[in-house]
Amino acid sequence: MTALLDLLLGTDDAEGLWTDRARLAGMLAFEAALARAEAGVGAIPATAVAPIAAGCHAELYDPDDLGRQAVEAGNPAIPLVRMLTLKVAERDAAAAGYVHWGATSQDAMDTGLVLQLRRFLEPLEAALQALRRALAERACAERDTPMAGRTWLQQGPPVTFGLKAAGWLDALQRQQQRLVELKPRLLTLQLGGAVGTLAALGERAGAVAKALAADLNLSLPAVPWHALRDRLGEFAAWQGLLLGLLGKLARDLSLMMQNEVGEASEGGAAGRGGSSTMAHKRNPLSCAVILAAAGEAPGLVAALFAALPQEHERGLGNWQVEWQVLPRLCRLTLGAARAAGTLIENLQLDRRRMRENLALTQGLILAEAVTMALGAALGRQKAHALIEGATRRARAEGVHLKAMLATLPEVRRVLDDDALDRLFQPDSYLGEAGRFVDAVLAKER
Amino acid sequence: MTALLDLLLGTDDAEGLWTDRARLAGMLAFEAALARAEAGVGAIPATAVAPIAAGCHAELYDPDDLGRQAVEAGNPAIPLVRMLTLKVAERDAAAAGYVHWGATSQDAMDTGLVLQLRRFLEPLEAALQALRRALAERACAERDTPMAGRTWLQQGPPVTFGLKAAGWLDALQRQQQRLVELKPRLLTLQLGGAVGTLAALGERAGAVAKALAADLNLSLPAVPWHALRDRLGEFAAWQGLLLGLLGKLARDLSLMMQNEVGEASEGGAAGRGGSSTMAHKRNPLSCAVILAAAGEAPGLVAALFAALPQEHERGLGNWQVEWQVLPRLCRLTLGAARAAGTLIENLQLDRRRMRENLALTQGLILAEAVTMALGAALGRQKAHALIEGATRRARAEGVHLKAMLATLPEVRRVLDDDALDRLFQPDSYLGEAGRFVDAVLAKER
Amino acid sequence: MTALLDLLLGTDDAEGLWTDRARLAGMLAFEAALARAEAGVGAIPATAVAPIAAGCHAELYDPDDLGRQAVEAGNPAIPLVRMLTLKVAERDAAAAGYVHWGATSQDAMDTGLVLQLRRFLEPLEAALQALRRALAERACAERDTPMAGRTWLQQGPPVTFGLKAAGWLDALQRQQQRLVELKPRLLTLQLGGAVGTLAALGERAGAVAKALAADLNLSLPAVPWHALRDRLGEFAAWQGLLLGLLGKLARDLSLMMQNEVGEASEGGAAGRGGSSTMAHKRNPLSCAVILAAAGEAPGLVAALFAALPQEHERGLGNWQVEWQVLPRLCRLTLGAARAAGTLIENLQLDRRRMRENLALTQGLILAEAVTMALGAALGRQKAHALIEGATRRARAEGVHLKAMLATLPEVRRVLDDDALDRLFQPDSYLGEAGRFVDAVLAKER
Amino acid sequence: MTALLDLLLGTDDAEGLWTDRARLAGMLAFEAALARAEAGVGAIPATAVAPIAAGCHAELYDPDDLGRQAVEAGNPAIPLVRMLTLKVAERDAAAAGYVHWGATSQDAMDTGLVLQLRRFLEPLEAALQALRRALAERACAERDTPMAGRTWLQQGPPVTFGLKAAGWLDALQRQQQRLVELKPRLLTLQLGGAVGTLAALGERAGAVAKALAADLNLSLPAVPWHALRDRLGEFAAWQGLLLGLLGKLARDLSLMMQNEVGEASEGGAAGRGGSSTMAHKRNPLSCAVILAAAGEAPGLVAALFAALPQEHERGLGNWQVEWQVLPRLCRLTLGAARAAGTLIENLQLDRRRMRENLALTQGLILAEAVTMALGAALGRQKAHALIEGATRRARAEGVHLKAMLATLPEVRRVLDDDALDRLFQPDSYLGEAGRFVDAVLAKER
């Protein structure tokens, strides 16, 4: 809510995308374009365009003043149109009569919001692009870096850090594809007039809508969408999904950053993440920012979904839910996307600790590899039973599984020392990991 | 939870899509296809296929027994594979060794789930198809039926019922398009082995995955998705969005069904929706079912989104959230989609009440029409001021706005009795409503 | 997010309860009291108290500057303590060594938050007090004002507006009681040091905690609660519950405000709730504000609940969720509570329309009354069957139920014209409504 | 949804608390008590009681049949009352006329639900009691067992496992206190008749309500609560809070169970938590069950909160949300509470690994202890600077902090070898941990 925490949690609005100013700019861009479109099709005099356009600059208005009037009006567009009309009238009384011609407040607010969202997509896509680039580099660089796979937080056979990075990247590629698909739906004109019939625009209504969509470079909808908010809901869900994926990335990395695991740490500015009482600590701040955003998002998406059943031609209390929840969600998304980019770019990996952790179970995580190798010779069930027994004994006696196996004649008959050594090399049991990385990287180019 | 309420709230699982049996069938379809695919590429002997396939029938297994074993194992696939192996061994001990070859429990569970979801989409799409057909018929039949537009639950200029129906339909068309886009993502094979590297399958891993995807007619992913659950999250969000839209439809209709509005009522079986103490009442049951589903859904979507950050190669407690939440959501969606179809098909409209309600404000809702008409002659601002004054007086004196305007010389100069009469016909102020309906219906063909 | 919408949606922070300044003030109040408490029990020199206290004024610090440093540190307390230490050192180098003695950042932040919440409760309780007073007046004034009862949005037997108001009030009384119960839990000191053991304070730790709690007039917990956040969760849920109840009140009233119902309207400043295109409209703005708050709240509560499982001695990404979500929730709560007070105070009721609406079903909503009256003489089942038949005929023929009943000999034998007239007076079928109102009002005194 | 997963996730309903049968039993208990209460105050003949009571046994009714009829009626109470009436009429036609006398469906459903919730509280409180006992034992046994404190998943100064357990227990004690407070609110009679006025009961309405509350041993409310659902919302939130706390416990333990931490593991039946492909693994199943429940709960609570604004005297679609969501939440709560009890009872701790992990940072986590010790002699700031430098060098050179400090003359002047040794004993820097444990245990007795 406040600047201090916004900064700290990366939800500050450095670009000013969600300020009063930006909101006014969105609505005023609508009003100016509306005048142009209407004049273009002869719905209003061409002479009205310039005076109206001249008034459509956000810095001409005082948000606090507007805010006070908006309280009386129920939305910010009503006083803004009133002020704009006065402003235009100062230059051209006749033109003032054509301000907001045939439109309703919600048209200005919704189309203004769409324009804001289009602006918002620029830094967001840039942030995601940077993140994908950083992930691709990591996936490439660590394509063959083995580390313990972990399921249920328990070690399993090895994976590679490259594979982890490729998995995150693959999901982001899907998110990008989803964005491509939803963009034309999201970036759609809202123009409906008082109740969505455009009746006030008379015969030229269709032409005005078409011209306005073209002017603003927005999709022209089959029907105005003032009370059907699935386009916004879809985008909110997309953001929620993205934050969930970023949360997955941050969760994995933060677990790797535990002292007891020690495979990664957040790099970056010296002193970052230091503790007030624990001088030696380096806290995973970027992870925290991302996880905090991912933790707040589901409730926001749920609020927007719950607000979908809006009454008749304009909702009562549910349309209004969008007004603050959607910008909030956008701020979380951009903040988390940037934090993820920074995190990956500055990430410090400790390959030595990865190797050490792979050795932690004394070979047990490679039991599957030996089972498969023995199975080919002995049959799978026999191999399985044999390894299970050896595993149990190795654990009980605190012995390495390889050493235990080396004592078993059934094993020695099939696997000599070299073969056993090879089986217990994590690098030799990485399966398709490298090829999976390649497949994801191929899509990135 | 219980059959009684499931029936009542339309969340019963008439097709048995989410029963234990169906879940087992999904996993067993995976196991059978895995054997075929592996034999096809030479990863296991061709002779293993038939005995394994023979064991892959859900009715061979006792879900309660499996349930008890699953408690010990942590998932249902482990005991199922064990039982399947025993079953295969009865026929062919060698084949038994190739059951579930190189796969992990989650592969069976996730791919099984995907197969269940594909089955689920059939009745769901049928229900949506029926709903769209019913809406298209209504939109067509009521294309020009005027009724009061309502914003903030207050009357505004007229709309048509056809436009309302077209708005709902337009949104459902978008949902259909979204489904087309997400389907190939959702219907994707999961095959990763213990930690997602397919290491146990050795050199033939890639070939097995490709053959398996082809056999099951599922997309082949670039990387296994065991811990990256955006595909399921996307589908959950799609369902949440759909339920929100159905809720919108039900909200609108239920408001029209109020005694004081009286423009619609739920048709259908006599006695349906009767009250225990109020013999005359007919409760909007289908609306209630839909709104109840729309009310439960956002929290379920939020739970699935919050579960996205799953730890490393398999989540701890978050993967498990999906197991019951996703089927629950599916049941709500199918139930609500069907209820909406029934609702629209049996809907009884009262055009007389719609007309009467249009007259309720004594012409005030058509003030905009007169303003626009006068504006052409007098200038918009003058017209606006004039109408505002007349409106205020008409309200204060309880007089129809037309009668009030007829007393004003400025008005009389521009509009004669016929012109005034025409302006106060709701039918003559419907703007683009008809054309919007046509545009939506054109997409339906 | 922005001032304009904050004003409009009543989520502005007029008291400055959630500003950077207030947050700093909370933390600094902790630091000053900590020094006093520690000096009081001899843990630090008494001479350190005054210099430290002198630095504990929020206006001495620049939030933007702090914000930037907080980004590096991961929380705002670390740089604040650093700055405070410098500030104290300017006066007294020795005292500077005792700033924040033995405490950790989270102690300052959590206890500071608790102090902010205590301040927040003042205007909130005042707003709720005002709302209850207004409701009590309405319940009293409209104790016997009949209006249609409505279930499933269908008319039933009459209730009174007084009963509606009493129902809302009764729920608010329960909320007040819940607040009384939770306050000592919520208003609890957090002092744990780095990991909750207070080890840095040595032998005097217990005495310091006790003295500090006494100094700040907060409860002393059995164990520090840095990672056990149920106290905050409980308060968040209390707010969510309150917003749900306020939403119920606003939902009811907004439905009564529909043109077709017309039983209520929002009073207040002229022009409030006017529409840009519909001059005659008065939109229910206060209802919208309340419903918007009630619509956003459940997701916020869910986010806080989902953040409860915080890792070990301090959470990673979940503690941070609280930082912005809890203040947001507080702003919604206070805004909605005030809006509800205004709404009830200025509410305009239309008793005539209430009466008219009671007549809408031509006596059907009083069928139960007649059934009970006849049942005494004829037996309940016979009476029920008789009335059901009459009801059906009355509806079919468009006749008033009383008139229909007057034609039936079985009825005439038991009820004469006077008796029938009386039965069809809504006022005579209000049951316990008045006594229920009295019972609630009795609790208010 | 299905038995298999219900068993696996501990959401099976072993006691049959939420079956159709139990639901019917709840409603029938209401109907029988209503007849007794009404006869007791002379509202119906005393002779009606026995025949009605004889019909009030759930096993007399077929839930499937009822379910089908409920679909037509909109709730299960309508057909149940119809069937009950028929059943009573078989014995005593006159008595049948007094079934459900003056009540409405919702009265039976809501009071029935309250009775179910009371039954549910028995096993739930027993489970919580068992959990608290197990926690108290652990807190006592491990009162002085040091382990690393961890904040942001980074090691800090030591805590004890006893303190962790005491923290969880302390929170559960608060939950118990909250339950004591809310119980009289939750366990409250609902009796309002058609719209909440009890008009059908005439003059004896108040007496009937009082007698019924006494008969069922429920609180008598000031006003019926059919459309004011805060009592249920409060209980839902209490459950959500409890699940969050249990999730906290499971989160902590599951992190301790990582191979790389190795401080704890789930005990219990051999083979439990085994993996299909990783023979050596033991998955934390109970933790998963608890975390899955904690992950699903916030969305359910949010759904119930969002359903609070129910329309007028009975909601449309929101009341219905409760029907399945509340039982679902109850099943999660009971399942998780039991799983937590099992988890703590069977928990295996590894004190050796705890010690080893304390040594992982080579003394760094005890830097604070030394700072405090040196501070007394050198002044805090000087001590701080000195330790910070030593810490940095120790990390850089890979040397134990104690060894590094032993080389510094400033340190040697104050601390000899023995003093240094003592400072680097984790046991000597546990602060109030033991006393905190004692304080919590004292409340348990």
Contact C360 B387 (CB under 8 A): no
Whether residue C126 sits in one domain with residue C60: no
State the smallest CA–CA distance between residue C69 and chain B in angstroms.
Answer: 29
Phi-psi region of A105 (alpha: psi -120 to 50; beta: other; left: phi over 0): alpha
Q: Which residues of C touch A13 (CB under 8 A)?
A: 1
Query: Does any domain span residue D440?
Result: no
Whether residue C32 sits in one domain with residue C148: no
Question: Which of residues B198, B224, B250 is at a domain's end?
Answer: B224
Q: Which whole number is the average pLDDT over A100-120? A: 97
How far is the CA of C430 from the CAs of B217, B280, D202, D204, D227, in angstroms? 66, 19, 9, 13, 18
Tell me the C-alpha distance between A324 and C299, whole Å: 13
Contact D364 A157 (CB under 8 A): no
Tell me the C-alpha distance between D68 and D65, whole Å: 5
Interface residues of B toward C, Cβ cutoff 8 Å, are: 148, 150-157, 254-255, 257-261, 273, 275, 277-284, 288, 298-299, 302, 306, 357, 360-361, 364-365, 367-368, 384, 387-388, 391, 395
Whether residue A208 sits in one domain with residue A88: yes
Looking at residue C23, its pLDDT comes to 96
- Find the residue in B nearest to C363 (Cα): B280
Q: What is the CATH number of the domain that holds B351?
A: 1.20.200.10
Residues A36-82: pLDDT tens digits?
999 999 999 999 999 999 999 999 999 989 988 999 899 999 999 99
Beta strands in D101-227 (DSSP E): 146-151, 154-160
Give DSSP secondary structure letters for D53-113. HHH--GGGS-HHHHHHHHHHHSSSHHHHHHHHHHHHHHH-HHHHTTTTTT--HHHHHHHHH
Tell me the C-alpha distance between B120 and B112, whole Å: 12
Token pair, residue A414, equals 């099939």
Is pLDDT of A277 > 80? no
Residues 6+ apart with CB under 8 A from C90: none
> pLDDT band for position B1 (50/70/90)?
very low
> pLDDT band for position B375 (50/70/90)?
confident
Query: Does any domain span residue B439?
Result: no
Looking at residue D267, its pLDDT comes to 85
> pLDDT band for position C272 (50/70/90)?
confident
Q: How many CB atoms lie within 10 A of CB B59?
A: 8
Whether residue B160 sits in one domain with residue B183: yes
Looking at residue D1, its pLDDT comes to 42
Query: Does any domain span residue A412?
Result: yes
Residues D42-73: pLDDT tens digits?
999 999 999 999 999 999 999 989 988 999 89
> pLDDT band for position A271 (50/70/90)?
low
Q: How many CB atoms lie within 10 A of CB B14?
A: 12
Phi-psi region of C317 (alpha: psi -120 to 50; beta: other; left: phi over 0): left
> pLDDT band for position A280 (50/70/90)?
low
Q: How many CB atoms lie within 10 A of CB C101?
A: 22
Query: Does any domain span residue B442?
Result: no
Looking at residue C381, its pLDDT comes to 77
Full domain range(s) for residue C69: 1-103+190-224
Looking at residue C359, its pLDDT comes to 96
C64, C105, C324: best to mutate for the A interface, most A CBs within 10 A: C324
* A–D interface: beta-carbon pairs under 8 A: 122
Token pair, residue C320, equals 């941070």
Looking at residue D384, its pLDDT comes to 84
Contact B295 D19 (CB under 8 A): no
List the catalytic residue out of C174, C272, C275, C352: C275
Average pLDDT, chain B: 94
State the smallest CA–CA distance between residue D7 and chain C in angstroms.
Answer: 24
Contact yes or no for A433/A159 (Cβ under 8 A): yes
SS3 (DSSP) at B299: helix
Q: How many CB atoms lie within 10 A of CB B330?
A: 24
Contact D288 B200 (CB under 8 A): no
Q: Are strands D264-265 and D348-349 parallel, antiparallel or unpaired?
A: antiparallel
How far is the CA of B423 from the CAs of A430, B434, C351, D244, in angstroms? 78, 18, 33, 61
Looking at residue A1, its pLDDT comes to 42
Tell me the C-alpha distance between C415 and C404, whole Å: 13
Question: Which of residues A323, A341, A360 is at a domain's end?
Answer: A360
Nearest Cα residue to B63 out of B79, B41, B82:
B79
Tell me the C-alpha distance between A234 and A301, whole Å: 9
Residues D242-265: pLDDT tens digits?
999 999 999 999 999 999 999 999
Name the residue with tokens 């009542």.
B8
Q: How many CB atoms lie within 10 A of CB A120?
A: 23
Question: Which of residues D199, D224, D249 is at a domain's end?
Answer: D224
* Helical axes A77-91 vs A63-73, angle rounded to 10°: 120
Contact yes or no for C287/C254 (Cβ under 8 A): yes
Tell me the C-alpha distance between D125 and A125, whole Å: 51
Tell me the C-alpha distance between C441 and C423, whole Å: 28
- Find the residue in B nearest to D250 (Cα): B317
Whether residue B378 sits in one domain with residue B332: no
Looking at residue C190, its pLDDT comes to 98
Average pLDDT, chain A: 94
Q: Which residues of C touch D238 (CB under 8 A)?
A: 237
Query: Does any domain span residue B109?
Result: no
Query: Does any domain span residue A435?
Result: no
Looking at residue A350, its pLDDT comes to 97
State the smallest CA–CA distance between residue B346 and chain C in angstroms.
Answer: 19
- Would the pTM of this model clear 0.80, i.e. be above it? yes
Whether residue A314 sits in one domain with residue A243: yes
Whether residue A234 sits in one domain with residue A202: no
Tell me the C-alpha distance between A384 and D329, whole Å: 42
For D261, which of A150, A257, A260 is closest by C-beta distance?
A260
Count of CA atoms in the C-beta half-sphere (13 A) of D46: 3
Q: Which residues of D touch A154 (CB under 8 A)?
A: 257-259, 275, 278, 281-284
Contact B258 C154 (CB under 8 A): yes
Q: Are strands B264-265 and B348-349 parallel, antiparallel or unpaired?
A: antiparallel
Whether residue C168 sits in one domain with residue C281: yes
Q: Are strands A348-349 and A264-265 parallel, antiparallel or unpaired?
A: antiparallel
State the Cα angle at C110 between C105 and C111, rounded to 5°: 105
Whether residue D184 sits in one domain with residue D270: yes
Chain centroid to CA C211: 33
Token pair, residue C323, equals 């930082």
Asked casually if ipTM beats, i.e. exceeds, 0.95, the reply is: yes
| Measured distance between the N- and C-terminal CA atoms of chain A, rounded to whole angstroms | 40
Share of chain A above pLDDT 90, in %: 89
Contact D292 B318 (CB under 8 A): yes
> Which of A431-435, B28-32, D74-78, D212-216 bottoms out in mean pLDDT, i.e. has the lowest?
D74-78
Chain D: partners with 3+ C-beta pairs within 8 Å: A, B, C
> pLDDT band for position D85 (50/70/90)?
very high
Is pLDDT of D279 > 60? no
Contact yes or no for A72/A78 (Cβ under 8 A): no
State the smallest CA–CA distance between residue A206 and chain D in angstroms.
Answer: 38
State the catalytic residues of A: 275, 314
Contact D153 A255 (CB under 8 A): yes
Tell me the C-alpha distance between C117 and C113, whole Å: 6
Q: What is the CATH number of the domain that holds B44?
A: 1.10.275.10
Tell me the C-alpha distance between D52 and D46, whole Å: 11
Give DSSP secondary structure letters for C59-118. GGS-HHHHHHHHHHHSSSHHHHHHHHHHHHHHH-HHHHTTTTTT--HHHHHHHHHHHHHH
Contact C259 B154 (CB under 8 A): yes
For A156, which of B170, B195, B316 is closest by C-beta distance?
B195
Q: Which residues of A touch D288 (CB under 8 A)?
A: 152
Phi then psi dihedrals of residue A315, to 5 deg: -75, 165
Contact A2 C11 (CB under 8 A): no
How far is the CA of B408 from the CAs of B369, C280, D19, in angstroms? 17, 18, 71
Contact D200 B272 (CB under 8 A): no
State the smallest CA–CA distance between residue D341 and chain C in angstroms.
Answer: 17
* A–B interface: beta-carbon pairs under 8 A: 328
Q: Which residues of C touch B255 (CB under 8 A)?
A: 153, 258
Contact B250 D285 (CB under 8 A): no
Q: Which residues of D touch A255 (CB under 8 A)?
A: 153, 258
Q: Are strands D264-265 and B154-160 parallel, antiparallel or unpaired?
A: unpaired
Tell me the C-alpha distance between A425 and A366, whole Å: 8
How far is the CA of A444 from the CAs of A124, A170, B205, B229, in angstroms? 18, 9, 23, 20
Q: Which residues of D touch C175 (CB under 8 A)?
A: 230
Contact B431 A316 (CB under 8 A): no
- Find the residue in D nearest to A364 (Cα): D280
Tell me the C-alpha distance between C209 and C29, whole Å: 15
Q: Which whole number is the average pLDDT over A202-225? A: 97
Query: Does any domain span residue D442?
Result: no
Residues D228-243: pLDDT tens digits?
999 999 999 999 999 9
Contact C97 D230 (CB under 8 A): no
Residues B314-351: pLDDT tens digits?
999 999 999 999 999 999 999 999 999 999 999 999 99
Looking at residue B279, its pLDDT comes to 57
Gyration radius of chain D's alpha carbons: 30
Q: Which residues of A touch B52 (CB under 8 A)?
A: none
Contact A387 D277 (CB under 8 A): no
Count of CA atoms in the C-beta half-sphere (13 A) of A412: 6
Looking at residue B395, its pLDDT comes to 87
Is pLDDT of B372 > 90? no
Q: Which whole number is the average pLDDT over B171-177? A: 98
Whether residue B146 sits in one domain with residue B245: yes
Whether residue C154 sits in one domain with residue C175: yes
A88, A99, A312: best to mutate for the B interface, most B CBs within 10 A: A312
Gyration radius of chain B's alpha carbons: 30
For every residue of B113-131, which 3-state class applies, written as one string? HHHHHHHHHHHHHHHHHHH
Looking at residue B74, its pLDDT comes to 92
Is pLDDT of D382 > 90? no
Average pLDDT, chain D: 94
Tell me the C-alpha distance between D214 and D189, whole Å: 9
For D285, which of B68, B74, B105 is closest by C-beta distance?
B74
State the Cα angle at B73 between B67 and B77, rounded to 5°: 70
Contact C74 A288 (CB under 8 A): yes
Q: Which amino acid, residue B197?
A: T
Name the residue with tokens 């706005």.
B401
- Find the residue in A nearest to D284 (Cα): A152
Contact yes or no for C286/C266 (Cβ under 8 A): yes
Whether residue B388 sits in one domain with residue B350: no
For C284, which of A254, A276, A316 is closest by C-beta distance?
A316
Q: Which residues of C touch D201 (CB under 8 A)?
A: 431
> pLDDT band for position C1 (50/70/90)?
very low
Per the structure, the count of domains in chain B is: 3
Q: Which amino acid, residue C214?
A: A
Share of chain D above pLDDT 90, in %: 89
DSSP character for C158?
A: E
Q: What is the CATH number of the domain that holds C402?
A: 1.10.40.30
Query: Does any domain span residue A430?
Result: no
